[in-house]
Amino acid sequence: MTVFDITIQQIVNGLILGSFYTLVALGYSMVYGIIKLLNFAHGDVYMVGAFVGFAILSFLSGLLGDQWAGILATMVLAMIAVGFLGVLIQRLAYRPMLSAPRLSILITAVGVSLVLFNSVMAATYGEYKAFNTGLDYEGVTMGHIHITYTQMVMVASTALLMVVLHLFISRTIYGKAMRAISIDMDACRLMGIDVNKIIALTFFVGSALAAAAGVMAGVYYGSIHFFMGFVIGLKAFTAAVIGGIGSIPGAMLGGLALGLLESFGTQIPWVGTEWKDVFAFGLLILLLIFKPTGILGRTEIERM
């Protein structure tokens, strides 16, 4: 393998990793942008998404097979199901807390995370589940580099989801309402925007994107477990901060940046794979010291 081969290989790995981070980071950033809540449970929503996908796929594989058709249908259904789960979480746990002190709502989010995490642990007896698909390792080979079609489709579908999300936020009336609420919630209420409905919609979209990432992770890694959401939740938050939390293009940029940084970071001899999580968190702490607003974030002036 030449340096060039390694570089290409790491770019591919970084893009895949970055896709997962981006999809989860978007949910963090959207919710933060609209109600200023750091939804700790978001990593667990991703994990639930993987398990819902697992359940749906094992049911659908009889009808549609366990290849592209089955996986696509699984992903769409899992996104819808987990989207509604997000709405349910928002309705039961966060909505009563909207005007409560920030500490209370953060603790509520920790509670939601514990509930999701432990229910899946109890349901699966803490075991790993094999996420079996009929996809093989076919793909394009260039010299020493082999890129599977699965990898290409995953990066492409992440890109597609991002484009759709961008159009949704910038072109539709609902997206406009979301942007308006993030600026001034009370004014929106006076203007006749159904704020609760839009917040619920934000949770739906954020959770659906996390579910998409969860299903993709299941397909890509081939096994899922109840603890998979914890670290990715932290990493996705790091990604959201890199891009500037609350900013949607920022989350996309931050996710890809973190994915690439991490995959190149593990190539540094003294970093290695067992230190890759420390590398990402170290990056987060450095970033918070030197550039807490991130690449695209706005400086927060008021602190009231």
Partner 1 sequence: MADTSPPAVPVVKKGGLAVLEERLFRCFDDRRNRYGAYALLVTSSLAIPFVGDNYVLEILTNSFFYIILCLGLNIVVGFAGLLDLGYAAFFAVGAYTTGILTSHYGWNFWLTIPAAVVFSIMAGVIIGGPTLRLRSDYLAIVTLGFGEITRIVARNLKDITGGASGLIGINRPSIFGLELYQIHHYYYAFFALVVLALFVSYRLQHSRLGRAWQYVREDEDAAEAMGIDRVAIKLYAYIIGAVFAGVAGCFFAAKMTAISPETFQFMQSATILMAVVLGGMGKIPGMIVGALALVLFPEVFREIGSMRMLVFGVVLILMMIFRPQGMWPERRN
Q: Smallest gap, in angstroms, from Cβ of residue 164 to partner 1?
A: 28
Distance CA 63, CA 69 (A): 10
Closer residue to partner 1, CB minimum distance, 103 or 142 = 103
Token code pair at residue 80: 């819808």
Closer residue to partner 1, CB minimum distance, 12 or 109 = 109
Chain Cα centroid distance, residue 158:
11
Q: Smallest gap, in angstroms, from Cβ of residue 297 to partner 1?
A: 12
Closer residue to partner 1, CB minimum distance, 153 or 271 = 271
Q: Smallest gap, in angstroms, from Cβ of residue 155 to partner 1?
A: 27
Closer residue to partner 1, CB minimum distance, 27 or 70 = 27
Closer residue to partner 1, CB minimum distance, 22 or 158 = 22
Q: Which residues lie near partner 1 (CB under 8 A)?
A: 36, 38, 40, 92-93, 95-108, 110-115, 117-119, 121-122, 126, 186, 189, 194-196, 230-231, 234, 237-238, 241, 274-275, 277-278, 281-282, 284-285, 288-289, 292, 300, 303-304
Token code pair at residue 95: 């909505």
Q: Smallest gap, in angstroms, from Cβ of residue 208 to partner 1?
A: 23
Closer residue to partner 1, CB minimum distance, 89 or 211 = 89
**Region label for 222, one of left (φ > 0), alpha (ψ between -120 and 50) or beta (otherwise):** left
Q: Smallest gap, in angstroms, from Cβ of residue 233 to partner 1?
A: 9
Q: Smallest gap, in angstroms, from Cβ of residue 37 to partner 1?
A: 8
Closer residue to partner 1, CB minimum distance, 80 or 93 = 93
Q: Smallest gap, in angstroms, from Cβ of residue 284 to partner 1?
A: 6
